[in-house]
Amino acid sequence: MPNRCGFKWRRALACGAAAALLGAGLVGCTREIEGTARADGSVGQVDSQEFLNLLDECEFLPAEDIAEVFDADGVSNTFFGAICRYDVYGPLGTVGVTLAWFEDGSLWRERRATEQLGYEVNNVSVAGQGGFEVRIPDDPMACGVATRSGDGGSLTWWVHPQGSRAGVNSCDAALELAEMSVRMNF
């Protein structure tokens, strides 16, 4: 007849060892974070003056200037936020235009991310400074141009004609928008 106490003892020892290993793993994965804890939903001190012109960043280049690049009838802003999106309407149809501006970004980081996505990248000069042109292999009508912005950061203009109308040279338009931005010291 098997000794039932021995069986229980081995099970308890195995469970204890497993718990000790789990506890050691949890302690080894923790770290201390600086700062003051606040209850969920509590309000911290935010300097709202910092965000007064947040939505104006998408309007640094007037809609009329964007329309002129495409010989378009009108431009509508379709999104304000981390990126700026526009729909440009004209005789060649609708063109989607996107501005991505990263105040603390770097052109090198943008290029590396673009290459990791498998996009085609070619060096270009943007108003006398370095930049690169981007093409998406599966979307030949789309084109982007990236360059440095102002005293730091990076900006990228993407141009994407909608539908099957190929009357817009996406890369020329993206380059022109990027050059206009650089000249405005954006």
pLDDT band at 186 (very low <50, low <70, confident <90, very high): low
Overall average pLDDT of the 155-163 stretch: 91
pLDDT band at 98 (very low <50, low <70, confident <90, very high): very high
Neighbours of 80 (CB within 10 A): 14
Q: Could you tell me if 162 and 95 are in contact, meaning their C-beta atoms sit under 8 angstroms apart?
A: yes
Least confident of 21-25, 88-92, 104-108, 112-116: 21-25
pLDDT band at 136 (very low <50, low <70, confident <90, very high): very high
Sign of CA dihedral 172, 57, 113, 95: negative
pLDDT band at 150 (very low <50, low <70, confident <90, very high): confident
Q: Mean pLDDT for the chain?
A: 81
Q: How far apart are the first and last CA of the chain?
A: 86
pLDDT at residue 16 greater than cutoff 90: no
- pTM score of the predicted model: 0.70
Overall average pLDDT of the 154-164 stretch: 88
Long-range contacts of 19-25 (CB under 8 A, 24+ apart): none
Distance CA 165, CA 167 (A): 6
DSSP line for 109-154: HHHHHHHHTT-EEEEEEETTEEEEEEEETTEEEEEEEEEE-TTS-E
Spatial neighbors of 102 by CB under 8 A, at least 6 apart, are: 110, 153, 154, 155
pLDDT at residue 81 greater than cutoff 60: yes
Query: Could you tell me the residue ranges of all domains in the chain?
Result: 59-183
pLDDT at residue 29 greater than cutoff 80: no
Count of alpha carbons within 13 angstroms of residue 149, beta-carbon side: 23
Q: Which helix H or strand E contains 183, and what residues bound it? A: helix 170-183
pLDDT band at 44 (very low <50, low <70, confident <90, very high): low
Fold topology of 59-183: Protein Transport Mog1p; Chain A (3.40.1000)
